[in-house]
Amino acid sequence: MNDLNRATIMGNLTRDPELRQTSTGRPVCSFGIATNRRWNDQAGERQEQVEFHDVVAWGKLAEICEKILYKGRKAYVEGRLQTRSWEGQDGVKRNKTEIVADNVIAVGAPREGGPSSEFDQTPAKEDFDQRPAEEKPKTGKAENPAKKSEAKKSAPKNPPAGKDEEEIDLDDIPF
């Protein structure tokens, strides 16, 4: 059986996202999210517990997070847990567990006068897959029907010589 390392949270940002670049130029964005748990205890008293989570996003997702997220905005985050260890300047060993985001969805209205709505539409999770292309699963995404019909019109009637592959119509796939 395979192992599973998944984290899914939804809460409010505790600080504005901080976008940096690694020494190789790769964008990385870090931000914090607070999640609240509310319940009534045995005496009927309302109780609340707050958890604080550190989140890290890489690449294109990092750039988008920096543009659409801000302190106080609600966000949904999916990712994996990762613990880093280092030795502080005082010689003490430190650990930090973070959520490495695979998918981030901004919830609620964007900031007044904020970025254009094109950045407020979080792209599909596959767009931020960090694996090399040869390791990514092949998906048969359904296309926009208008684009599909245009593609069929512009596609050559006879395939180029040497091509024995049969064209697969996504509408024929039963799932």
Six-digit token pair at 47?
């109780």
CA distance 70 to 65: 9
Residue 109's pLDDT is 78
Residue 172's pLDDT is 63
Is 28 strand, coil or helix? strand
In a domain, 124, yes or no: yes
Residue 175's pLDDT is 53
In a domain, 56, yes or no: yes
In a domain, 168, yes or no: no
DSSP secondary structure code for residue 147 in this structure: H
Residue 134's pLDDT is 61
Number of structural domains found in the chain: 1
Residue type, 15: R
Give the range of the structural domain holding residue 35, as residue numbers without chain letter.
Answer: 7-163
pTM over 0.85: no
In a domain, 131, yes or no: yes
Residue 157's pLDDT is 53
Residue 132's pLDDT is 58
Q: Please report, for the domain that includes residue 126, its CATH number.
A: 2.40.50.140
Mean pLDDT by 10 residues, the chain (175 residues): 95 96 96 96 94 97 96 96 94 95 91 54 51 58 51 51 57 62
In a domain, 175, yes or no: no
In a domain, 170, yes or no: no
Is 37 strand, coil or helix? strand
Residue type, 14: T
- 87-124 exposure pattern, b = at least 16 Cβ within 10 A, e = fewer: eeeeeeeeeeebbbbbbbebeeebeeeeeeeebeebee
In a domain, 60, yes or no: yes
Residue 1's pLDDT is 84
In a domain, 37, yes or no: yes
